[in-house]
A = this chain, B = another copy of it.
Amino acid sequence: MNKETVLNVEKSLDPEDWSALKELGHRMLDDMFEYLQTVRDRPIWAKPSNFAVASMNQPLPKLPQDAAEVYGEFFTQVLPFNNNNTHPRFWAWVQGGGTPFGMLADMLASGMNPNVSLGDHMPMHVESQVIEWSKKMMGFPDSASGLLVSGASIANITALIVARNHFNKDIKKKGLRAVPAQMIVYGSAETHNCVAKGVEVIGIGSDNFRKVPVDEQYRVRVDELRRMIREDREAGNLPFCIIGNAGTVNTGSTDPLEELAAVAKEENLWYHIDGAFGAIPKILPEFSKQLKGIELADSLSFDYHKWMYVNYEVACVLIRDKNVHREAFSVAVNYLAMHERGLSGGPDSFTNYGMELSRGFKALKVWMSLKENGILKYAEMVRQNLRQAQYLAELVRQNTTLELLADVPLNIVCYRFNPGGISDSELNRINKEILMRLHEEGIAAPSYTLLNGKYAIRAAITNHRSRLEDFDVLVKETVRLGNELIA
């Protein structure tokens, strides 16, 4: 190889014309600010056009395409057909809407491009700071540990692995055959499905996730839980973990968390709380009693991208006992060995606390957002959503053609159009049609669930852009569509 020849042709993926790409970047930034600033003026949803969908069925690109042209395709074919959780009338599933500052933080994180996994660099310390703040927010002790992950699914799986491996020290190396009988997890029938999926992932099997019946407020029945644990022990099974819910996905119910802690303690079981969104009111003094139980948990999951409104994706798992956490995931291999000095030094590797070795700089947007707003501002926004949920519930109660299908203990409102004299199955059909038209007409995007067989239009309010007037629109248009459908 002739070095001189090769040098002449050495290339990179950096732009040949930096200023042209920078100019394009500025245009993108202006466009995104315009997009976010005007989100209220657009319909909540627009079905992706046939042209846009067809544009995602192209052959693998062989040759380079002009960057501005690529952006043009994004601008015309992707951006207009967002899932729109940025919109003030998005209350589907449970998704926060992000912020412009969070978007900028993600740009910085992506430009820096660190793998926040090991080594002596500041992104490692930023994530540690975010974990420390997370512990404070949730009343976990200073000695606890934690990790940022993609969402509550991975957070729950991470906690389940710690719980499983802690139950029997042989499981990590020898697998579940090291355990002489079937291990069992308990949680209410309203527990989010990602927990059952996690129980599948870790090899326990979802049949061994006991769905404990709930009371009329969709909270776990502790007497039933005790009975099921007793029956399992009598049958020779091995109970090892209780899942408490801070905010169920269907109705926002919160289990009696302190009572569950007491059961877990008595029975010597791991106590995990899935607080994907419902743990967030822990930052409000007025929830200190109801969410006291969080401080008693062995582990906790919650999302920053839901009710903390941080941009997708970022969640947190906290583990009370750092050593137990580390034992579940730590590895010792030559190519990851720590050094005393240099880039290969630094804090304990995050890979010792979770499944991932590749980890982007999710921490930056959380760190910057928490600083930008301060926890008191978040408290204010969460209270605003709580008030809005009560406001919507009240609008529903006051309307004779609408029916509230569940109590509203938090930020989720389940209701249906029900003018009377129509069968449940017919109401299910009508309300599903109402929901689809609310979307199609670009009015509002609640989502749905089934409660005792009844189709519920479900507004999950983790939206910092919503105003009371938006709920007026939802109610008015639900009634209009319902009346049109029965006319």
Contact = CB atoms under 8 A, between A and B. Distances in A.
Interface string A82-100: 1111100000110101111
A409 interface: no
Given A65-B374, A86-B113, A391 B7 contact: no
A355 B106 contact: no
A201 B122 contact: no
A13 interface: yes
A15 B100 contact: yes
B171 A205 contact: yes
A364 B113 contact: no
B3 A48 contact: no
Given A29-B25, A370-B61, A375-B60, A432 B107 contact: no
A84 B112 CA distance: 7
A202 B99 CA distance: 36
B450 A334 contact: yes
Nearest to A178: B205
Contacts of A141: none
A358 interface: yes
A329 B196 CA distance: 11
Interface stretch (A219-227, A259-267, A311-319, A415-423): A311-319
B86 A123 contact: no
Interface residues of A, number: 191
A377 B64 contact: yes
Contact of A110 (B107, B112, B372, B440): B107
Given A335-B458, A336-B193, A176 B173 contact: no
B312 A355 contact: no
A125 B52 contact: yes
A103 B114 contact: no
Nearest to A205: B175
A426 interface: no
Contact of A29 (B107, B464, B465): B107
Chain A to chain B: the 3 pairs with minimum beta-carbon distance, closest first: A203-B203, A151-B358, A175-B205
22 contacts: A1-B390, A22-B29, A45-B121, A45-B343, A52-B125, A56-B129, A61-B370, A63-B374, A64-B372, A79-B108, A83-B114, A92-B344, A110-B365, A113-B312, A115-B305, A152-B358, A171-B205, A172-B206, A175-B204, A202-B202, A312-B360, A339-B432
